[in-house]
Amino acid sequence: MKQFEVPVKYRSPLISAIKQKRKQEDRLKKDYSPTLLDLGKVQFYLARHFGFCYGVENAIEIAFRTVAENPGKRIFLLSEMIHNPQVNADLESYGVKFLQDTYGKQLIPFDAIKEGDIVLIPAFGTTLHIEALLKEKGIQTEKYNTTCPFVEKVWNRSEQIAAKGYSIVIHGKPLHEETRATFSHASSGAPAVIVNDMKEAKVLGEYIMGTLPPESFYETFKGRYSSGFDVTRDLQRFGVVNQTTQLATDTQAIAEYLKGVMSEYYGLDSITITERFADTRDTLCYATNDNQTAVTGMLDTPADLAIVVGGYNSSNTTHLVELCEQRLPTYFISDAGKILSGTEILHYDFHSRQEQVSTDYLPSKSPLKILITSGASCPDAVVEEVIGKLARLLGTEVG
């Protein structure tokens, strides 16, 4: 796989050595057990896969290269490059300005952009409308487009099945940048609708089966279906694609459920189901799959707590937290600064979308066993800082 040039401050000699050793021992990536970092008083179990993925490293390389090669030029980002506070803050420190926030709210009007300015498209991609708007202004986007190749793979697959007459059902968070971009691209070639979770997929199933009145669909899915969508026509043939950072198991479950609905309603078997339901399993992101599977493997290890590190608005990181908290006390933090002391930790509750302080989070036992992972947009250096701080609080050192 291609090696990217990212700022050395994001790298960690400790974690790089661990990852390299695991890669040499398990080149086929079949062993999802965690790596033990035994410091005596505390044992850290690091997930087999975590941290920067291909798409994130690609985006970071392009962004920092753009800054270095264009001194004096005005450089803008459509929104956050990736969902990581350290990386976005670093780009801002170099004078890069954000045009929108993560939910699409305008921070700087597009009218302020002039020909000759540079506009970076983030790893999540963007809508066709914004691409056209930038083109009209004479803004070159090809060189500064950091859209993840695996996001583009979803777009390409949507285009392929649309050409065969299928509609598109997108499993994603409706306000997420990637979902908005995927919806834009998918709906340009086929009727499209967004479902957030299995609960909404089951509601969609009711419309397919005709057990809910068609007219109520337009209120239930308001703002999440393409122009001209006809619920009685456009759910007769479709495929399911996803926001690549969703839980892979959730996307698969939704696809299997809707496939079952189609099979039951139209009386189809495993062969004839393709007449109504497109196979889109190849749109799942490898990094999302690897990181989630690694967490599942890590959770087989008896432990006292889990620490998940990453941006609070990072979808893929939130899903790692979701997996961990089903099994043991889990603390979602953005950096080592959230570890206030050996008795207090400031962490994010994604359910209430608020930070909260927990006390006595480190049980009094030796050795203390802590599971560690991070999101795909979190620098390894941040994870090492977290490990180092916890080790010092527990009376030991790393290395």
In the chain, the amino acid numbered 146 is T
Alpha carbon distance 358, 381 (integer Å): 24
Is 1 part of a structural domain of the chain? no
Does the pLDDT value for residue 340 go beyond 70?
Answer: yes
Is 376 part of a structural domain of the chain? yes
Q: What is the mean pLDDT of the chain?
A: 94
Is 48 part of a structural domain of the chain? yes
- Do 60 and 49 lie in one domain? The reply is no
- Do 264 and 179 lie in one domain? The reply is yes
- Do 83 and 190 lie in one domain? The reply is no
User: Mutual orientation of helices 54-69 and 85-93 as an angle, nearest 10°?
Assistant: 10
Is 167 part of a structural domain of the chain? yes
Q: What pLDDT was estimated at residue 282?
A: 67
> Using one digit for the tens of pLDDT, what is the confidence trace for 28-38?
889 999 999 99
- Do 388 and 295 lie in one domain? The reply is yes
Is 3 part of a structural domain of the chain? no
- Domain termination site, one of 262, 284, 306: 284
From the candidates 178, 200, 322, 384, which is the catalytic residue? Answer: 178
- Domain termination site, one of 232, 255, 284: 284
> Using one digit for the tens of pLDDT, what is the confidence trace for 270-326?
899 999 999 887 677 888 889 999 999 999 999 999 999 999 999 999 999 999 999
In sequence order, which ranges of 174-247 are alpha helices (DSSP H)? Answer: 177-187, 198-209, 214-220
Our CA dihedral for 245, 248, 253, 254, rounded to 10 degrees, sits at 20
3-state secondary structure (DSSP) of residue 309:
strand
* 97-98/368-374 β-pairing: unpaired
The answer to whether residue 178 is catalytic is yes
- Do 228 and 354 lie in one domain? The reply is no
Is 399 part of a structural domain of the chain? no
Question: For the chain, what is the domain count?
Answer: 3
In this structure, what CATH number is given to the domain that contains residue 231? 3.40.1010.20
> Using one digit for the tens of pLDDT, what is the confidence trace for 358-374?
999 999 999 999 999 99
3-state SS, 236-265, equals: CCEEEEECCCCCHHHHHHHHHHHHHHHHHH
- Do 263 and 325 lie in one domain? The reply is no
Q: What pLDDT was estimated at residue 281?
A: 77
Alpha carbon distance 39, 97 (integer Å): 43
DSSP 8-class letter at 35? E
CA distances from 136 to 130, 133, 140, 367 (A): 10, 5, 10, 62
- Do 125 and 34 lie in one domain? The reply is no
Is 267 part of a structural domain of the chain? yes
pLDDT range class, residue 1, cuts 50, 70, 90: low
**Rounded to 5 degrees, what angle do the CA atoms 100, 106, 107 make?**
75
Largest CA distance in the chain: 66
| Terminal-to-terminal C-alpha distance of the chain | 29
Does the pLDDT value for residue 79 go beyond 80?
Answer: yes
Helix and strand numbers (H, E) in the chain are 12, 14
> Using one digit for the tens of pLDDT, what is the confidence trace for 213-256?
999 999 999 999 999 999 999 999 999 999 998 888 899 999 99
DSSP secondary structure string, 311-374?
Answer: -TT-HHHHHHHHHHTTTS-EEEESSGGGB-SSSEEEEEETTTTEEEEEES-S-S-SSEEEEEEE
- Do 192 and 250 lie in one domain? The reply is yes
3-state secondary structure (DSSP) of residue 99:
coil
- Do 113 and 198 lie in one domain? The reply is no
- Do 22 and 68 lie in one domain? The reply is no
In this structure, what CATH number is given to the domain that contains residue 73? 3.40.50.11270
Is 398 part of a structural domain of the chain? no
What's the domain range around 155?
A: 150-284
- Domain termination site, one of 110, 127, 144: 144
- Do 90 and 24 lie in one domain? The reply is no
> Using one digit for the tens of pLDDT, what is the confidence trace for 132-169?
999 999 998 899 999 999 999 999 999 999 999 999 99
Query: Does pTM surpass 0.95?
Result: no
- Do 193 and 313 lie in one domain? The reply is no
